[in-house]
Amino acid sequence: MSKRHHVTTTINGEESDFLCEPRQSLLEVLRDVLKLTGAKEGCNDGNCGACSVLVDGVLVDSCCVLGVEAEGKQIDTIEGMAVNGELHPLQKAFLEETGMQCGICTPGFLMSSKALLEKNPQPDEAEIRHWLAGNLCRCTGYDKIIRAVQRAANEMAGEKV
Ligand code: FES
Ligand code: FES
């Protein structure tokens, strides 16, 4: 076994530290070391988006980021999306529009959508479809997911008024 590195980071707003091997991906660390299993392993090569998390506010495929790269970073995962038991507007909208798909792809869709609305609070349909092109699901027509993101965007805009 190669030498393990001590990494200090912030995950969902809480300081965290862990030991990881240099070869371990952030996805492996989250799931296997920290037991945060919301991010899923689909392709493990940057194509499906099931492992989506935010690193310092930037959407990444955590299977393509090394655990050691988390040093000093702010990591946001699906586990931190609901706050104090209150669902995020996107989670509510996915439920209301039946945008939920399976447990493998849905966390990634939600994290990607969250990143989109933080960057662009009022995206049009084309922008949503383009943004979510990195989240693959062969089981959906995507329409309900698009409607859910639009609904959440409208509700979040209303909340800010
Ligand atoms: S598991 Fe990371 S992009 Fe598919
Ligand atoms: S991959 Fe999750 S429902 Fe299609």
Q: What CATH number is associated with residue 69? A: 3.10.20.30
Q: Are residues 112 and 67 in the same domain?
A: no
Residue among 101, 5, 11, 98 at smallest CA distance from 53: 11
Of the three residues 28, 61, 80, the one that is the final residue of a domain is 80
CA of 14 to the centre of ligand 2 (A): 30
Q: Are residues 94 and 61 in the same domain?
A: no
Mean pLDDT for all residues in the chain = 96
| Separation of alpha carbons 83 and 67, rounded Å | 25
> pTM for this one?
0.95
Residue 161 predicted with pLDDT over 60: no
Of the three residues 80, 109, 136, the one that is the final residue of a domain is 80
Q: Are residues 21 and 70 in the same domain?
A: yes
Question: How close are the terminal C-alpha atoms of the chain, in Å?
Answer: 55
Q: Are residues 9 and 62 in the same domain?
A: yes
Beta strands in the chain (DSSP E): 5-11, 14-20, 52-55, 58-61, 74-76
- pLDDT value of position 2: 75
Q: Are residues 13 and 74 in the same domain?
A: yes
* Percent above pLDDT 90 for the chain: 94
pLDDT higher at 140 or 155? 155
Among the atoms of ligand 1, which is closest to the Cα of residue 44?
1
Of the three residues 80, 103, 129, the one that is the final residue of a domain is 80
> Domain containing 148: what range?
89-160
Q: What is the pLDDT of residues 13-72, one digit of tens each?
A: 999 999 999 999 999 999 999 999 999 999 999 999 999 999 999 999 999 999 999 999
Q: What is the mean pLDDT of residues 93-120?
A: 97
Measured from the Cβ of residue 47, the count of other Cβ atoms closer than 10 Å reads 13
Tell me if 125 sits within 8 A of 151, measured CB to CB. Answer: no
Measured from the Cβ of residue 72, the count of other Cβ atoms closer than 10 Å reads 10
Q: Is the CB of 139 under 6 A from ligand 2?
A: yes
Q: Is the CB of 70 under 6 A from ligand 2?
A: no
Work out whether strand 52-55 and strand 74-76 pair parallel, antiparallel, or are unpaired: antiparallel
Residue 160 predicted with pLDDT over 80: no
Q: From 45, 77, 104, give the residue whose CB has the most ligand 1 atoms within 8 Å, as the site to mutate.
A: 45
Q: Are residues 112 and 136 in the same domain?
A: yes
pLDDT higher at 160 or 111? 111
Q: Is the CB of 137 under 6 A from ligand 2?
A: yes
Tell me if 137 sits within 8 A of 81, measured CB to CB. Answer: no
Q: Are residues 70 and 94 in the same domain?
A: no
CATH of the domain at 94: 1.10.150.120
How many folded domains does the chain comprise? 2
Q: Are residues 94 and 52 in the same domain?
A: no
- pLDDT value of position 1: 61
CA of 96 to the centre of ligand 2 (A): 18
Tell me if 65 sits within 8 A of 2, measured CB to CB. Answer: no
